[in-house]
Amino acid sequence: MNLILLGAPGAGKGTQAEIICEKLNIPTISTGNIIRAALKNGTEMGLKAKEYMDAGKLVPDDVVIGIIKERLLEDDCQSGFILDGFPRTIPQAEALDAMEIQIDCVLSIEVPDEKIVARMSGRRVCPCGASYHTEYKKPKQDGICDICGAKLTIRKDDEPATVLDRLHVYHEQTEPLKDYYAKTGKLRTVVGQEEVADTTKLTLAALGI
Ligand code: AMP
């Protein structure tokens, strides 16, 4: 299955992606994680992306389109993939169409802005890419990653003021993708619930898996 996850930052796309990834054994491709890894490794692309990311703005389309083009060619994507955080603009969606890769389903996870702001303040991340929440997805040991044992931190772009900027960017540039994909008949919508397990039930039902 080739799947796109849409939703505001903090709507729970990453968590649902992990669950689907495990169930279907297909990779999750998160442009945010790829960019953060590039930044950590000090690559030119990572350094260029940093100023946009820190300000809660979108990285230019040509940069992320280049990342996705390369990544989707890799072997592990040939039997399916989950796109988490791409596309985020109409030109990115058009570039994906131009790659002539069949998309089976676009799942939009809907969470009201007030809830997003409250949720983001509890998000904790690990340099290995794992993500937790102080209330909804606690690590086994407080502040420590279950997977690699590193100390969890707050993402710079999860600071409240930046979250508001990111939500603004989402509504302006990413939300129009719902109409774009509704027209193809591939859009399915899930209302994000308080409990991850409840959202997961809705997600799996929407995907028929
Ligand atoms: P995320 O981890 O998906 O919330 O992404 C973190 C940040 O990476 C975003 O706020 C953007 O600055 C950048 N980013 C990730 N994916 C994209 C994309 N598809 N288009 C533009 N910028 C992106």
- State the closest ligand 1 atom to the C-alpha of 56, by its place in the atom list counted from 1: 10
pLDDT at 88: 98
Domain locations along the chain: 2-26+79-112+164-207
- For ligand 1, say whether the CB of 95 is within 6 Å of any of its atoms: no
Mean pLDDT score of the chain, rounded to an integer? 95
Residues 6+ apart with CB under 8 A from 4: 82, 83, 86, 87, 103, 105, 106, 107, 181
pLDDT, tens digit, 9 for 90 and up, residues 124-150: 999 898 999 998 889 999 999 999 999
Please, which residues bridge with residue 84 across strands? 5, 30
Q: Answer yes or no: CATH 3.40.50.300 is held by domain 2-26+79-112+164-207.
A: yes
Kindly give the distance from the C-alpha atom of residue 46 to the centroid of ligand 1, in angstroms, as a whole number: 12
Kindly give the distance from the C-alpha atom of residue 102 to the centroid of ligand 1, in angstroms, as a whole number: 23
Kindly give the distance from the C-alpha atom of residue 32 to the centroid of ligand 1, in angstroms, as a whole number: 5
Write a three-state SS string for 27-85: CEEEHHHHHHHHHHCCCHHHHHHHHHHHCCCCCCHHHHHHHHHHHHCCHHHCCCEEEEC
In which residue ranges of the chain is pLDDT below 50?
none
- For ligand 1, say whether the CB of 32 is within 6 Å of any of its atoms: yes
Supply the residues annotated as catalytic.
13, 88, 123, 155, 166
